[in-house]
Amino acid sequence: MESSTAGKQLCPLGGGLKETKVPVVTICVIASIAGGLILLTSPSAFSIGLDLGSIGRKLTVNPLLGNHRKSEPGSICYMTANINMGRLGNHMFVYATLRGLSEYCGCISVILPTDKGGLELAKYFRLRPGIITNDTQITSLPYDLFRYVKCCIFNPTIMSRCDNGTRNHTHLAGYLQSFRYFDHIRDKLKKEFVPKAAILTEAKAAMAAAIGSVRKLNRKLRKPTIIGIHARRGDMAKEKNIKAGRNTPNGSYYINAMEFYKRRYRNDVIFLLVTNDPEWARLNVGMNRTDVVIFDGNDAITDITILSLCDHTTMSIGSFGWWGSYLAGGTTVYFGDHPIPGTRIATYYNKTDYYPPDWIPMT
């Protein structure tokens, strides 16, 4: 489909755009992976001013990612991202995608000091030194915009473009939640997502106290395997989210996962459960059990650190539990009945893009 337009236009990618006068230009709209839209300009590509109000800065961006210009040999390319949507787990996904795509393409990752989500990560974790910059020579460069709205479906556009030799300055937008963007630098990310010393000390102390309390009640435990459980309830269990397709596990899922680990490790296990609904967890998971500790009152960074320090994990739904499991390594059990088929959320998911192949689905 082709169309020619002139004069005042709005870029269809969203994000608080300003109207801009542009010359006549041909735009081809083609279907990308999983039905996302890719806009490819003709060789006479134009730039527009993109006001990314949510992160308090302006970048000059091109409509999107056509191979309309190739970087000069030996030139430097930069990548930046909008790390402001959602909460901690969402921010970790965008950061990891930024780092993964930058490394794949041979570009330099950049976080601007006005990016609140990026600054939050830097407060908690040992991110790559020098990644935060206020260098105006970097921020004033022309950036291609890559915005992909289907959170949990891998889109290979940028990697394919880099394979073809194009290394443009690129700004990433969207949730971008697929391990395929960054699993090739997993070891580097695990080092960058090591919490700062004070956070790590607090989480280890909480774990030690919890494990000690269980061992007092279970004298037969020898060298127990520690299993982290994340039970996401709260907002995910609200009717509007259920209608949208979010399927929050019930208690039987967690019990089944716990029995799986008990069989595998001959009952020599301790379960550490973090949740945003501890009362529900006590009634549905921890009732009359002496092998489970349910944490209550921790902040998010402490809980995700506890999960990351466990030997193996069970996650519910959402990016928070995903990252706790990814950083922990070991075996991960995930809820196989999410999302609800035929719903809006289901159109955003490809399980083979979202869950690493060695993770185990369970219901």
pLDDT at 46: 23
pLDDT in tens, 242-268: 898 899 999 999 999 999 999 999 999
pLDDT at 240: 85
pLDDT at 26: 23
Q: How far is CA 344 from the centre of its chain?
A: 19
Mean pLDDT lowest for which of 69-78, 156-165, 263-272, 283-292? 69-78
pLDDT at 239: 85
Domain count, the chain: 2
Same domain, 21 and 62: yes
Confidence class for position 194, pLDDT limits 50, 70, 90: very high
pLDDT in tens, 55-113: 233 444 433 333 333 445 557 899 999 999 999 999 999 999 999 999 999 999 999 88
Which tokens hold the place of 76? Answer: 């430097």
Confidence class for position 35, pLDDT limits 50, 70, 90: very low
Mean pLDDT confidence for 41-59: 29
Domain that holds residue 43: 2-192
Residue type, 302: T
Asked which of 158, 177, 192 is the last residue of a domain, the reply is 192
Q: What percent of the chain has pLDDT over 90?
A: 69
Confidence class for position 136, pLDDT limits 50, 70, 90: confident
Same domain, 233 and 93: no
Same domain, 319 and 332: yes
Same domain, 84 and 175: yes
Q: What percent of the chain has pLDDT over 70?
A: 80
Same domain, 122 and 210: no
Q: Give the helix/strand (H/E) hosting 49.
A: strand 48-52
The structure's pTM equals 0.81
Same domain, 176 and 231: no
pLDDT at 328: 98
Same domain, 202 and 154: no
Residue type, 325: S
Mean pLDDT confidence for 305-313: 98
pLDDT at 269: 98
Cβ neighbours for 357, distance < 8 A, ≥ 6 positions apart: none
Return mean pLDDT, the chain: 82
